[in-house]
Structure 1
C-alpha cells in the first residue's frame, strides 16, 4: 500500500465543466512541474505501452476513477470527491454514455459514447487559457452554445509534445489525453 499523497502547495480550482486531464495539465503549469510528476504525486500510476490493464491503469484517466484514486486526488487538491468525479465521464455514465467500469472504457456503440478524440470550441479555449471542457468528449457535442458555432472536428492521436513546448494547446485536446505514450 502506498502512502496518501500530501496536500499540494498550490491550489487550482477546476473551471466549470472542465475535464480532469485539462485540470491536471493546468495544475502542472501552475506548479511549474512536469505533468507526469503531478500525476505521480497524486497517486495516478504511470502508463506504459503494455500491461496497463493488468495494473488497473485506464486508457484515459478522464473516463473514470476508482474510489481510492478520487479520494487521493481530493485530499491532495483540497477539492471534494464529487468535484473530482464531475471532471470524468463517469459523471455522465448511464445518462449520456455507458462505461465499463471494470475496464474503464466507454462503450462507443451505446447512447452517445465516443471512443477517442474530442471536439472543441476555439473561442472557449482562448477564453479559458486552453482548458478543455468534458462535454466536448461526448458524442452529441457538436456546437458551442456560448459562442454559437460548430465545434472543431474530432482530433486524431497526436505526437507527444517536444521538450520546451508550451504546456497548454489551443489547437487540440490536452496533450496528456492523446499522447502516443498514453492518455492521462
Structure 2
C-alpha cells in the first residue's frame, strides 16, 4: 500500500490473493454501499469497461486506481489476465478483446466458480476461474460451476446494467430480463450444488497437473506446446 494522500478513498478494501479485478471493485463498492457502476464513476472511470479492465489495465486506469485506492500498480495488474496474454489467452492491443482460442470462453464479465470458495472468501472471485484450463477446485475438491442453478445464466462477477439495487456479495447478479432494468436473480451461489470429486481421482489429478505444468508455468516452452 502507498502512503495516504488527498486522492485516496478514506476506506481501504484489500484484494484477496488471486482475486480478479472486477471482483475486488464489486466488493469495494459493496463495502461503500453503492453500485459498482456508480463506484467506477466516482473513481473517475465513467467511460471505462470492467470487462476490458479485467483483461488488461491501460496506464491511465492503473494510475487512477492506484491513486484512489492505494493498491500498487503491480498488484492491480496481477488481478488481470494480462500476464497470461500470449500464452493461455490473447488480448487484442486495440480493444482488449479476447481473440483466441475463440471456442474456449466468451463470457465477458462472468466466470466459472467454486461455491465453497465464494462462501469461505466472502464472495470474492478468483481470476484463474476465467481460464479455460480451470475446471476443478483442488482446495475444496469440487467441480467448478458455470451457471447459476436458479436462473440458469452465467452469473456476472460484477453488477452491470441500469438496475442499481445493491446485490449481496454471494448472490447471482444476473438480470432477469433483457432491458437491464429488471430485478436480479439473487440466488446464493454459495449454496449451489457442485459435484464432489474423488480424492486421488483422475479429475483432481488432471487439474493439479494443469495447475503446475500449464497455469503456473504458462510461459515455459513445454507449457506453450501443451497449451496450444
TM-score scaled by length of structure 2:
0.62
Instruction: State which drifts further: 151-160 or 29-38.
Output: 151-160
Answer 1 or 2: higher relative contact order, Cα 8 Å, separation at least 6: 1
Instruction: Please report how far the alpha carbon of residue 153 of structure 1 lies from its aligned counterpart in structure 2 after TM superposition.
Output: 2.0
**Partner-residue secondary structure (3-state), 2:25:** helix
**Partner-residue secondary structure (3-state), 2:52:** coil
- Following TM superposition, the consecutive aligned residue runs of length 4 or more in structure 1 with deviations greater than 6 angstroms are none
For the aligned residues, what is the CA RMSD? 2.9
In the alignment of these two chains, the number of paired residues is: 163
Instruction: Please report how far the alpha carbon of residue 157 of structure 1 lies from its aligned counterpart in structure 2 after TM superposition.
Output: 6.8
1:64-93 C-alpha deviation (Å, 9 max, x unpaired): 111111111011111100111111111321
* Unaligned runs of at least 5 residues, structure 2: 1-5, 148-152, 181-228
Q: 1:126 to 1:160 in 2, by over 3 A?
A: farther
For the residues of structure 2 that align with 1:145 and 1:180, how far apart are their CA atoms? Answer: 38
For the residues of structure 1 that align with 2:128 and 2:165, how far apart are their CA atoms? Answer: 29
Instruction: Please report how far the alpha carbon of residue 13 of structure 1 lies from its aligned counterpart in structure 2 after TM superposition.
Output: 0.7
Matched, 1:141 2:134: yes
1:173-184 paired onto structure 2 within 5 Å:
none
Q: 1:100 to 1:58 in 2, by over 3 A?
A: farther
Instruction: Please report how far the alpha carbon of residue 119 of structure 1 lies from its aligned counterpart in structure 2 after TM superposition.
Output: 0.6
Matched, 1:156 2:154: yes
Instruction: Please report how far the alpha carbon of residue 161 of structure 1 lies from its aligned counterpart in structure 2 after TM superposition.
Output: 8.6
Matched, 1:16 2:17: yes
